[in-house]
């Protein structure tokens, strides 16, 4: 733990997945490939691409795939500003090249996939130890500080073993349900803070920056679950180290963009690399402090009551006392969980309320559903959500339209992009044969806007997620059309916690308030910052409903 003490930290460089553009070099992209490229396969044909039919097994190769040349791609990213709008660049690329195209930056080649059948083909072929991407930039920080890798940075058998341990007490819905009381405690504090902020506004009912308030809520909630410690994010005055943690997350993410795109030799010349490392270091210091407190607590319990005196309560406590994770290993993993669990949930909540405030009929139906199950004055419990299909549908629709997770360059929606490297074998996808180690970028943002799967994809229609038997449902047509928490054994570790946390808070807000956009908010667009975030403050009004 002493070694750990010297460390620093991180948030999610989720971004560096898919369209991950690592160090560059400006070699021209295979002109041959471009010239020979058929305008890529329309989505519907992708699964039945030429050469994949039973009678025709000629599989095309990577070189036959089209895409923007390397210089053009860099121009789009760096000059035209698509670096922060990669999801939009992917929309343009799909229109030009079809649902599968190639992009290159320096030595890195990415095969971009933008149709549900193509995503399905790759995901279903992943092996026992799926790889998202190499996470080099994050690993560099851990190596420099002598820190162990966590679930994002570890690969192979070691990752598998780590996940076996971390999955406990968090992965299954019934396990997540154990945190209901803790989460409700944080929701209580949130409601108090909400009222304080509203009282400070001129109209007495406005919150000027909803995303910031949800950020503090999500941070408070995940810290309470992971470290069993309230850290004061929802107090009037937020503790200094919590403020430092929050700004270091921003520091790390912003500077990781430059650290990703600028060659290594420029690191001493510009401040980005140092700021990137400083950001991570503060994040890890924050995690270490919380861990130290927990270790001390366990030690005291051991001293006073012996092994039987230790009260196993929350997640970290369980991991440490079960003997499956050493404090050092926990120090590598917990900050990564912390990073994963804040922007994702807070942005999903922000977008959900934004959409609901723009859709009064849906909000009215949701209010009716919520108070039908949990009347005003009662606090929602885990079991209640089995009777709230519309609430779940609102969250699913939010995650479809504003995905919350982006790996490529730390850039997007509530996950607009993810990726996979298939390491074990060559694989066939959409009529092409790809060599081992091909990096596939899964363009979720584009796929979740495919009108053949989601009619009127730009409109917010939670009813599309209701069971076919429910009134107004029109059923979702492809299981890989929207996969906001990823897929398979490498899928999101915190999914059930995130769902429960969002359901508990959203239900409580809708139970008590009618939510409306504040007059100055207007239309809000998304920009990619690892997750898709609002391009400006989302101001909301909370109008108390009659009891």
Planar angle of CA 316, 134, 441, nearest 5 degrees? 110
Site string for ligand HEM, 205-244 (x = CB under 6 A): -----------------x----------------------
163 part of the interface to ligand HEM, by CB under 6 A: yes
Cβ 118 to ligand HEM shortest distance, Å: 16
Stretch in the footprint of ligand HEM (CB under 6 A) among 22-30, 83-91, 357-365, 483-491: 483-491
Residue 494 lies near ligand HEM (rule: CB under 6 A)? yes
* Cβ at position 229, least distance to ligand HEM in Å: 15
Q: How far apart are CA 451 and CA 18, in angstroms?
A: 23
State yes or no: residue 337 binds ligand HEM (CB under 6 A): yes
**For ligand HEM, how many residues bind (rule: CB under 6 A)?**
29
Q: Is 169 in the site for ligand HEM (CB under 6 A)?
A: no
DSSP string, 362-415: HHHHHHHHHHHHS-TTSPP-GGGGGG-HHHHHHHHHHHHHSBB-B-TTS--SBB
Q: At what angle do helices 389-401 and 343-358 cross, to 10 degrees?
A: 110
- Assess 18 for contact with ligand HEM (CB under 6 A): no
Interacting residue with ligand HEM among 490, 508, 514, 529 (CB under 6 A): 490
User: In the bound complex, what is the minimum distance in angstroms from residue 201's beta carbon to ligand HEM?
Assistant: 28
Give the largest Cα separation in the chain, rounded: 75
| 184 sits near ligand HEM (criterion: CB under 6 A) | no
Element (H, E) at 101: strand 100-105
Cα–Cα distances (Å) from 180 to 159, 226, 367, 393, in that order, read 28, 14, 21, 20
Binding mask 392-431 toward ligand HEM (x if CB under 6 A, else -) reads -------x----xx--------xx--x-------------
Among candidate residues 254, 250, 288, 245, the one with its CA nearest the CA of residue 273: 254
Shortest distance in whole angstroms from residue 489 CB to ligand HEM: 8
Cα(369)–Cα(484) distance, rounded to whole angstroms?
Answer: 24
Interface map 119-158 toward ligand HEM (x if CB under 6 A): -------------x------------------xx------
Pairing of β 531-534 and β 526-529:
antiparallel
| Binding of ligand HEM by 348 (CB under 6 A) | yes
Residue 331 belongs to what H/E stretch? helix 327-340
Contact by Cβ (8 Å): 58, 51: yes
What's the closest the beta carbon of residue 412 comes to ligand HEM, in angstroms? Answer: 11
| 547 is an annotated ligand-binding site residue | no
First to last CA, the chain: 52
**CB nearer to ligand HEM: pick between 43 and 399:** 399
Backbone angles phi, psi at 543, to 5 degrees: -100, 115
Q: How far is the CB of 186 from ligand HEM (least distance, A)?
A: 13
Least distance between ligand HEM and beta carbon 415 (Å): 4
Q: What is the spatial distance between Cα 52 and Cα 8, in angstroms, rounded to a whole number?
A: 49
Annotated binding site for heme: 492
Binding residues (CB under 6 A) for ligand HEM: these are 132, 151-152, 163, 222, 336-337, 340-341, 344-345, 348, 399, 404-405, 414-415, 418, 484-487, 490-494, 497-498
Annotated binding site: 492
């Amino acid at each position: 733990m002493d070694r750990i003490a010297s460390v620093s930290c991180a948030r999610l460089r989720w971004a560096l997945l898919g369209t991950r553009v690592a160090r560059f070099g400006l070699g021209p992209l295979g002109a041959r490939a471009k010239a020979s490229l058929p305008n890529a396969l329309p989505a519907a044909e992708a699964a039945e691409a030429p050469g994949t039919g039973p009678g025709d097994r000629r599989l095309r190769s990577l070189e036959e795939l089209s895409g923007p040349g390397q210089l053009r791609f860099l121009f789009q990213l760096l000059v035209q500003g698509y670096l922060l709008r990669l999801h939009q660049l992917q929309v343009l690329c799909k229109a030009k090249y079809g649902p599968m195209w190639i992009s290159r930056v320096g030595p890195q080649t990415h095969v971009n996939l933008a149709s549900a059948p193509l995503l399905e083909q790759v995901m279903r072929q992943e092996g026992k130890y799926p790889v998202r991407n190499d996470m080099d930039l994050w690993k560099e920080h851990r190596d420099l500080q002598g820190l162990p890798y966590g679930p994002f940075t570890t690969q192979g058998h070691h990752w598998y073993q780590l996940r076996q341990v971390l999955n406990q007490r968090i992965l299954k819905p019934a396990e997540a349900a154990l945190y209901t009381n803790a989460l409700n405690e944080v929701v209580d504090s949130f409601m108090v803070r909400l009222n304080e902020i509203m009282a400070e506004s001129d109209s007495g009912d406005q919150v000027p920056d909803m995303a910031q308030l949800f950020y503090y809520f999500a941070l408070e909630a995940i810290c309470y679950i992971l470290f069993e410690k309230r850290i004061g994010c929802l107090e009037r005055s937020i503790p200094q180290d919590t403020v430092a943690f929050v700004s270091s997350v921003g520091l790390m993410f912003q500077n990781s963009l430059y650290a990703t795109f600028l060659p290594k030799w420029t690191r001493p010349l510009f401040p980005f690399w140092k700021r990137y490392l400083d950001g991570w270091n503060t994040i890890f210091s924050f995690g270490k402090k919380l861990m130290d407190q927990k270790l001390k607590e366990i030690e005291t319990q051991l001293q006073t009551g012996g092994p039987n005196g230790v009260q196993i309560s929350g997640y970290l406590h369980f991991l440490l006392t079960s003997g499956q994770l050493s404090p050092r290993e926990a120090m590598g993993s917990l900050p990564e969980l912390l990073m994963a669990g804040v922007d994702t949930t807070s942005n999903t909540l922000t977008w959900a309320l934004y959409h609901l405030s723009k859709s009064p009929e849906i909000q009215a139906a949701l209010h009716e559903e919520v108070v039908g199950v949990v009347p005003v004055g009662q606090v929602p419990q885990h079991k209640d959500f089995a009777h709230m299909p519309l609430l779940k549908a609102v969250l699913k629709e939010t995650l479809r339209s504003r995905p919350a997770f982006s790996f490529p360059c730390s850039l997007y929606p509530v996950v607009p992009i993810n990726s996979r490297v298939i390491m074990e074998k060559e694989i066939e996808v959409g009529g092409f044969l790809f060599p081992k180690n091909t990096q596939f970028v899964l363009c979720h943002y584009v796929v979740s806007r495919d009108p053949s799967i989601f009619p009127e994809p730009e409109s917010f229609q939670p009813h599309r997620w209701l069971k076919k038997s429910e009134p107004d449902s029109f059923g979702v047509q492809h299981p890989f059309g929207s996969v906001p928490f990823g897929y398979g054994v490498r899928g999101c570790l915190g999914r059930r916690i995130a769902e429960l946390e969002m359901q508990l808070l959203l239900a409580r807000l809708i139970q008590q308030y009618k939510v409306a956009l504040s007059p100055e908010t207007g239309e809000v667009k998304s920009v990619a910052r690892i997750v898709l975030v609002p391009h400006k403050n989302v101001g909301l009004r909370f109008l108390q409903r009659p009891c």
